Amino acid sequence: MVERQTRAHVEARIRAGILEQGTVDLLVEAGVAARMHAEGLPHDGVNLAVDGHLFRVDLRALTGMGVLVYGQTEITRDLIAAAEARGGAPLFEAENVALNGVETDAPFLTFTRNDQPHRVDCGFIAGCDGQHGVSHAAIPEGGRRTFELAYPFGWLGILADCPPCHEEVIYASHARGFALASMRSRSRSRYYIQVPIAERLEDWPDERLWGEIETRLGPDIGHRVSRAPAIEKSIAALRSRVSEPMRHGRLFLAGDAAHIVPPTGAKGLNLAAADARLLAAAIARYYRTGDTAQLDSYSDTALKRIWNAVRFSWWVTKLMHNFPDASPFERRLQRAELDYIRASRAAQMSLAESYVGLPFR
C-alpha cells in the first residue's frame, strides 16, 4: 500500500461514521472488529425532523437490521495496525507515484520516498486514491465516461467533545435549510448545516454555528444541544459523480477514485468497502484457480450497487435540502413527500432498505 500523506495526517482526518451491516461483517471477516464492537454505537432507527418536529423510522423493525456508528478515522487506525501486525505496513509519504504498464500483464508502480526511487512490480493495481489521484487519471479519457451532478450548496460541519443531542442520527428539514445531528461516540458530537456554496468558514464562529444548529433542529431537539469548542470545522461541497468503467487492463478503481456521493445518505464509506470486498474476492479467485470471470465482471457488478446508492443519496438530498431555485410548487411537493413518509410504512420501508444497505453480493 502506497500513501502520499503522512501517517499522522491519515489517522487524524475526520471522515464518515455510519456503517452498514455489510461493512460491519466485512471488518469482522478481516479480523479488525474488536475495537469497533467495544466502542461502536448500534442504531436501530433514524430520525427525520420536519420544521422542528421529529419522527422516527424504525430500521430494525422494517428490515431486521440497523447501522453502527464508528468513525472512519478509527477504522483506518484499526486497518493500519492490522497491516503492521502481518508485516504489510503502508508506505507513507510516497511522492511522484506513477502507474506503468497497466495494459500489460506486468504492471508496476514507481515512486520516491525519502528522496529515494522505488519500484513495485504487481499482478494487479487497485486504485483507491480518490478522484484527484493518479489511478483515475490513468484511464484514457476516450476509455471512460464520467457522470456528475454538482449541488448548489455545501455542508458546514463541526466536531466537538460534547454529548450528542439524541441517541440516534437526525436529518432535519427546516425553512432555513438542512441540518444533521450525528455523533462519533457518547461524548463526541458531529453536526452539519446546509450553507451556500460560496460561504466562508471565517464567517461562522462557534456561537453563531451552534445557534443555527439549535434553530434548525427545532423545539423538539434544539434545546438538548450541548455546546463545546470546535475540534474541527469545515465546509464541504456536495456532488454526485460516477466514472465508468472501473477497470483498465490490470488497474481496478475502488472507492472515491470511481465514485463520489453526497454524505446525505451515508454511503461513501460503505460503497468503498463493498468495492474492496468484491475486488479482493475476484483477485483471490484468480490466484487460487486462474479464473478471471469475477475480475472481468468487477466493474459491471460494482456499478449496479453504486448507482443504487447514488440514487438514494440524490433522493435524500433532494428531499431534505432547500434548493435556491426551487419553485413554491416544488417546495410543496417536498413537504408532501415528507408527510407521506411519516404516514406510510411502505415509504419508510423503502427508505430503511436503502439506509441499512443492500446485501453484499
CB 95 within 8 A of CB 66: no
Cell numbers 472488529: residue: 33
- Sign of dihedral through CA atoms 188, 193, 199, 202? negative
User: Looking at this protein, which amino acid is placed at residue 285?
Assistant: R
Catalytic choice (171, 191, 192, 298): 171
User: Looking at this protein, which amino acid is placed at residue 350?
Assistant: S
Catalytic choice (70, 192, 298, 355): 355
Q: How is 160-217 classified by DSSP, letter by letter?
A: ESS--SSSS-EEEE-TT--EEEEESSSS-EEEEEEEETT--GGG--HHHHHHHHHHHH
Give the total residue count for the chain: 361
Q: Which three cell numbers stand for residue 211?
A: 445557534
Catalytic choice (107, 174, 263, 321): 263
Catalytic choice (43, 174, 259, 321): 43
CB 90 within 8 A of CB 2: yes
**Residue 318 annotated as catalytic:** no
| Rounded Cα distance, 224 and 332, in Å | 29
**Residue 355 annotated as catalytic:** yes
**Residue 304 annotated as catalytic:** no
User: Looking at this protein, which amino acid is placed at residue 182?
Assistant: S
* Residue 340 dihedral angles phi and psi, to the nearest 5°: -65, -40
Catalytic choice (166, 248, 267, 321): 267
**Residue 136 annotated as catalytic:** no
**Residue 118 annotated as catalytic:** no
* Catalytic residue IDs: 43, 171, 263, 267, 355
